[in-house]
Every structure is written in structure tokens, then in C-alpha cells.
């Protein structure tokens, strides 16, 4: 009888434990920033975009203690250069310009709030500051501000900010060395 109680007790602990193995194995680094003044750190990766030759994406996803995705942040159409790249609002006339997006999710998959670039904010940018060919990693910085989209201002939970600002943003991610030849 005591083995049955022990078995169910162990099963309960395993079922209630935090399981980071549910987080996809795609992240090769991290992003840190002040999100509306609060420290924000989350796994990130840098990947080639299939739609644009020579353009890349920095993606960071925030997970809760139960490994459910709570937010998704990306900066797209990044060129491989050490020059500062301005982030522009996404529209049909972007013609390969760098843009960003942010969304808050509920329970890992349902969209709660979608944000678009706040074009009234000053100095939305990303900059790759260092490429280490020995470690195959890049480091960089960014600053970007968002506002709830006009077309999708659902904010279903009602608790999300009208604006989100990422300041003092830094990233450090592994990259494919072929992208930097």
C-alpha cells in the first residue's frame, strides 16, 4: 500500500513540475531589454528569411513557468551589416525595409493583443555591433516602441498596455557562418 501512495505522490510531483523541455529547441541565444521600464530577458534566435535574399530575422519568445508561450517579438528584414538600421512600419511599400512586431498570447497559442510599430516614437532601430567568427555569434542592440493596432485593438484580457517600449535592448545569438561571408 505504501508503494502505491509513494507512486501517486511521485506522479503528482512530476505532473506539477515546470517542464522546460516543452520549449522548442530553436533558440541559440537571448534578448534582454527594459520592457516599459521592467527587465525583460527571453530566449532568442537569428534566422534567414526565405522571402528576402540576404535578409534575416531576430525572434524572441517569452515563456511562462509552465512553458507556455506568452509573448512573441521579432525584428525582420535585418541586413548583415554593422550599420544602424532604422525600423519602419510594415506596409505594402516596405520594399525590404526593416520592420518589427510584437504580440501577447493567452495560454501559449491564442492571440490576446497585437502591437504595431509606434511611428510617433523616436529612434526605432536595430544594430549588429559585433560578429565573432570563432564562436559564430552576433551581438547587437535595439530600441523599438509599439502601440496596439487600430485594426485589431481587441486586447481581450483588457490588462495589456496601450504602448510597449523596449529600450536598452541587447541580443547575443548564434548564427550560420555562411551568412557572414
Q: pLDDT tens-digit profile of 22-54?
A: 666 788 899 999 999 999 999 999 998 876 677
Q: What is the pTM of this model?
A: 0.79
How many structural domains comprise the chain?
1
10 domain residue, yes or no? no
> What is the rounded CA–CA span in Å between residue 161 and residue 19?
29
The reply to whether 14 falls in a domain is no
Could you list the residue range(s) of the whole structural domain that residue 139 is in?
A: 26-180
Whether 7 maps to a domain, the answer reads no
Distances (CA, A) of 42 to 45, 104, 119, 166: 10, 14, 25, 13
Q: What is the pLDDT of residue 51?
A: 63
In a domain, 15, yes or no: no
Inside any domain, residue 21? no
Amino acid at each position: 500500500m505504501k508503494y502505491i501512495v509513494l507512486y501517486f505522490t511521485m506522479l503528482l510531483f512530476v505532473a506539477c513540475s515546470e517542464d522546460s523541455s516543452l520549449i522548442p529547441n530553436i533558440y541559440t541565444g537571448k534578448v534582454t531589454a527594459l520592457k516599459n521600464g521592467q527587465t525583460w530577458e527571453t530566449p532568442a534566435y537569428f534566422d534567414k528569411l526565405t522571402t528576402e535574399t540576404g535578409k534575416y530575422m531576430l525572434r524572441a519568445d517569452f515563456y511562462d513557468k509552465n512553458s507556455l508561450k506568452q509573448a512573441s517579438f521579432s525584428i525582420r528584414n535585418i541586413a548583415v551589416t554593422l550599420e544602424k538600421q532604422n525600423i519602419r512600419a510594415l506596409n505594402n511599400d516596405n520594399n525590404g525595409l526593416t520592420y518589427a512586431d510584437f504580440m501577447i498570447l493567452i495560454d501559449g497559442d491564442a492571440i490576446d493583443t497585437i502591437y504595431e510599430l509606434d511611428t510617433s516614437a523616436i529612434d526605432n532601430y536595430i544594430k549588429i555591433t559585433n560578429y565573432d567568427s570563432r564562436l559564430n555569434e552576433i551581438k547587437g542592440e535595439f530600441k523599438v516602441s509599439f502601440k496596439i493596432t487600430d485594426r485589431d485593438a481587441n486586447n481581450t484580457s483588457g490588462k495589456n498596455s496601450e504602448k510597449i517600449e523596449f529600450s536598452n535592448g541587447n541580443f547575443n545569438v548564434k548564427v550560420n557562418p555562411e551568412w557572414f561571408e
